[in-house]
Structure 1
Amino acid sequence: MSQVVALVVAAGRGSRFGADRPKQYVSLAGRAVLRHAAEALAAHPGIDAVRTVVHPEDGEAYAAATRGLDLLPPVHGGATRQDSVRLGLESLADIDPAKVLIHDGARPFVDAALVDRVLAALDEADGAIPAIAVSDTLKRVEAGRIVETVARDGLWRAQTPQGFVFHAILDAHEQASVDGGYSDDAAIAERAGLPVAIVQGSAENMKVTTQDDLTRAERWLAGGMEIRTGQGFDVHRFAEDREGPVMLCGVSVPHDRALAGHSDADVGLHVLVDAILGALAQGDIGSHFPPSDEQWKGADSAVFVRHVRDLVAGCGARILNVDITLICERPKIGPHRAEMAARIAELLGIDAGRVSVKGTTTEGLGFTGRREGIAAQAIATLQVPRSAA
């Protein structure tokens, strides 16, 4: 049973946004608004699966926006947000998760720390939502004139993802009236008598509703992020006492000998990990997975890649591009490049178009020319919040 599933609600038409497409598919820094949200949730180590609720007419737009992400198949939504969430929850019945996070597809900046707070609160309550205390003076207005000043004490602005015990919120949705006018899932939980906790939200966790919101989001990305680059270099010799195949970039490649190393000696994934760690300024692979530690003997290097993927997500960064060069006479890399790129993209949770794998030789020179081993180098480019830099 999956423990936590994130349900991304993206079936709305976004009429207030005023574009030629629903706001969740509008480009934000070169990627659809929806992709920012889905990618962040899919990369979170505490989330086992992500499903999106989409409009029946948005199949092509959704496929383009989420290409390369490891998501559950989408389901169609209903006429209202309430209908869409209920249909999404019902679609998860066969998965039967313990907890579910319900997130608006138009909130692109959900971060790992916020998700952590919601999940932690669910250990003590049936529901938990992120929110920010209201600090502005509130006015009630009628016909363009102020009629009342509203006390702001105890008022909070609700955000998503809103988290719930799965069966509790599913029952609450199925019992809620269709004309109840519920503005969020917490309201439906309240109506059902479920205790809902508040956790601290995030000022950056904005919802794109208007063109001004999109402009603000673009400015935040431009001002709040910086580009960081890391590089990795590694060498592994061929083992005299180990027959092939050889593991390269997560792919088993036919060869007469395997590489020597404490883990599975996947030199391609090792340089990838070092490059990403370099961009994050978080040491090298040896400091995270010491070769002296017996638990890493013969380990699948995919474990190391998933670790750095989670580090990236945890600090709110994202991987823009990785470029790996494998240097050897044999085995030939060309026939396996596409499979290697696809495997790396899968491990990192990014589009395969952001992964480059190349092979080259040293024209018979040096230890690689003598076919004594394989060298590899990698460069990783990340977009990192300035606060994490």
Structure 2
Amino acid sequence: MRRVSLVVVAAGRGERAGGETAKQYRSLCGRMLWEWSALLGERLFGRELVDETVLVVPRGDENLFRDRVRHFRCPFLITAGGKERGDSVLEGVRAASGDVVLVHDGARPFAGVSLCERILKAVDGERGIVPLLPVSDALKREDAEGRFQPVSREGLFAAQTPQGFPRKLLEEAILFAGSSMKDEGEAWVKAGRELGAVEGDRRNMKVTWPGDLALAESQFRMISRTGIGYDIHPLVPGRRFILGGVAVPSFPLGFQGHSDGDPLTHALSDAILGAAGLGDIGTLYPASDMRYRNISSLLILEDVSKRAAGAGWRLEWADMVAIVQEPRLAGCLGAMKEALEGVLPENWKGRLHLKVKSGEGEGTVGSCGAVVCHAAATMSLPSWMLEEED
């Protein structure tokens, strides 16, 4: 089976977009512009359409990019770009290990899974594929005297990314064409290779000029959903008491469970999965699987957050309550919050709220027989991503 690499080119200076900050670092709906292309790689990996993502970045900023993708499940390779776009693409293609590469411009935040599927189905061992859209605007060309003359738009198409090619042949084509190429399709044709096309996507705009970022922001309509989580674990001798990732070694009872039994972390995990529509921890991490025996529930929360973030979801707010008779936990709330946030994606942090209530001596909780935890998590996702799932 052929391997596929997504190469995201985000090493340019972005001068045409204006502003003091290079455009790939500008914020777009809560993420840096380039992060939407990294998220595309994660979504493609989740669909088993790509095996890795290569990020081509400004030299010296490799660690910044590496830190921002560490919560994704897809393997990410980070490499520095070159002086010209062609040099950067060449670095990315050389860093990739796939038989086929999808080369994508990090300034196109709206590229979707369905577009990539069309490209990958059309790429073969000899032919490159680019997504094209017919030019719909009336065209004019300025002549040497500054006069504007009409140009026929018949047979003219606008090329988008990602563009798909056999990797080794694309490397040869770039070396042949030189670094001044406008896109990979141009290098491919100059090298005498056959170039095919698939239908592009009107939504797949490129952020290039001042005002494009505001236009892109206007295309985002966020969908919000709330999930609920609930968990109860009996308290028994011989087990550790770990709540919200924080151990209380002085307390003689602990949680009965297949993992470490942390009901607060389990409740938060289920709330996130519920909002994202991704199942529940009992199904994803069953007690019948010995890999999860006695593991830290923080590892489950970390994996849950990777699944949700990789599908495009962002945590907006989570409210949790733990109902505990003993031990007294008011002094542990800060440490619990810190432990839980420590395994969440960077742009999810600062959005947790935690309360502890007494069992008031009533029922199983009041007699120190169990601890009950509830959580509610509100998550958001761009509507166009949700539409792709339907």
* CA distance, structure 1, for counterparts of residue 14 and residue 226 of structure 2: 39
1:340 maps to what in 2? Answer: 340
Cα 1:100–1:375 shift into 2, 3 Å: same
1:360 maps to what in 2? Answer: 356
2:130 maps to what in 1? Answer: 129
* CA distance, structure 2, for counterparts of residue 196 and residue 236 of structure 1: 59
1:215 maps to what in 2? Answer: 214
> Does the aligned pair in 2 maintain the 1:33–1:106 contact within 8 Å?
yes
1:228 shift after superposition? 1.0
* CA distance, structure 1, for counterparts of residue 235 and residue 2 of structure 2: 40
* CA distance, structure 2, for counterparts of residue 198 and residue 307 of structure 1: 38
Q: 1:86 aligns with which of 63, 85, 90?
A: 90
1:372 maps to what in 2? Answer: 370
**3-state DSSP class of the match of 1:211?**
coil
- TM-score, structure 1 normalization: 0.74
**3-state DSSP class of the match of 2:34?**
helix
Cα 1:372–1:276 shift into 2, 3 Å: closer
* CA distance, structure 2, for counterparts of residue 354 and residue 67 of structure 1: 19
Q: 2:152 aligns with which of 136, 142, 150?
A: 150
* CA distance, structure 2, for counterparts of residue 21 and residue 277 of structure 1: 36
1:378 shift after superposition? 2.8
1:31 shift after superposition? 3.3
1:56 maps to what in 2? Answer: 59
1:382 shift after superposition? 0.7
1:182 shift after superposition? 1.6
**Matched residue type, 1:323:** A
**3-state DSSP class of the match of 2:15?**
coil
- What pairs with 1:30-41 in structure 2 (closer than 5 Å)? 30-41=30-41
User: 2:295 aligned with 1:319, yes or no?
Assistant: no
Cα 1:22–1:120 shift into 2, 3 Å: same
**Matched residue type, 1:203:** R
- What pairs with 1:20-35 in structure 2 (closer than 5 Å)? 20-35=20-35
Cα 1:116–1:368 shift into 2, 3 Å: farther
**3-state DSSP class of the match of 2:343?**
helix
How many percent of aligned residue pairs carry the same amino acid? 27
In structure 1, stretches of 5+ residues that fail to align are: none
**3-state DSSP class of the match of 1:351?**
helix
**Matched residue type, 1:170:** E
1:375 shift after superposition? 1.9
* CA distance, structure 1, for counterparts of residue 243 and residue 350 of structure 2: 18
> Does the aligned pair in 2 maintain the 1:52–1:74 contact within 8 Å?
yes
Q: 2:227 aligns with which of 207, 226, 231?
A: 231
* CA distance, structure 2, for counterparts of residue 196 and residue 239 of structure 1: 66
* CA distance, structure 2, for counterparts of residue 55 and residue 137 of structure 1: 37
1:183 shift after superposition? 0.9
**Matched residue type, 2:94:** E
RMSD: 4.3
The one-character-per-residue Cα deviations of 1:292-339 (angstroms, maximum 9, x if unpaired) are xx897567597898689667766xx53143525362456967645434
> Does the aligned pair in 2 maintain the 1:25–1:65 contact within 8 Å?
no
**3-state DSSP class of the match of 1:78?**
coil
* CA distance, structure 1, for counterparts of residue 165 and residue 287 of structure 2: 36
1:163 maps to what in 2? Answer: 164
Cα 1:63–1:387 shift into 2, 3 Å: closer
**3-state DSSP class of the match of 2:204?**
coil
The one-character-per-residue Cα deviations of 1:332-364 (angstroms, maximum 9, x if unpaired) are 67645434333343xxxx535265374634255
What is the number of equivalent residue pairs in this alignment?
366
In structure 2, stretches of 5+ residues that fail to align are: none
Cα 1:267–1:158 shift into 2, 3 Å: farther
User: 2:79 aligned with 1:75, yes or no?
Assistant: yes
**3-state DSSP class of the match of 2:318?**
strand
Cα 1:124–1:268 shift into 2, 3 Å: farther
> Does the aligned pair in 2 maintain the 1:239–1:258 contact within 8 Å?
yes
Structure exhibiting the larger radius of gyration computed from Cα positions:
2
The one-character-per-residue Cα deviations of 1:35-83 (angstroms, maximum 9, x if unpaired) are 23223433441344333222236568x4599376547463222110001
The one-character-per-residue Cα deviations of 1:206-248 (angstroms, maximum 9, x if unpaired) are 1111112122112222xxx13413031212323869x646887
1:184 shift after superposition? 0.8
**3-state DSSP class of the match of 2:39?**
helix
> Does the aligned pair in 1 maintain the 2:230–2:267 contact within 8 Å?
yes
Which has the larger displacement, 125-134 or 300-309? 300-309
- TM-score, structure 2 normalization: 0.73
Cα 1:78–1:358 shift into 2, 3 Å: same
1:115 maps to what in 2? Answer: 116
* CA distance, structure 1, for counterparts of residue 104 and residue 243 of structure 2: 37
1:26 shift after superposition? 2.2
**Matched residue type, 2:188:** A
* CA distance, structure 2, for counterparts of residue 78 and residue 138 of structure 1: 33
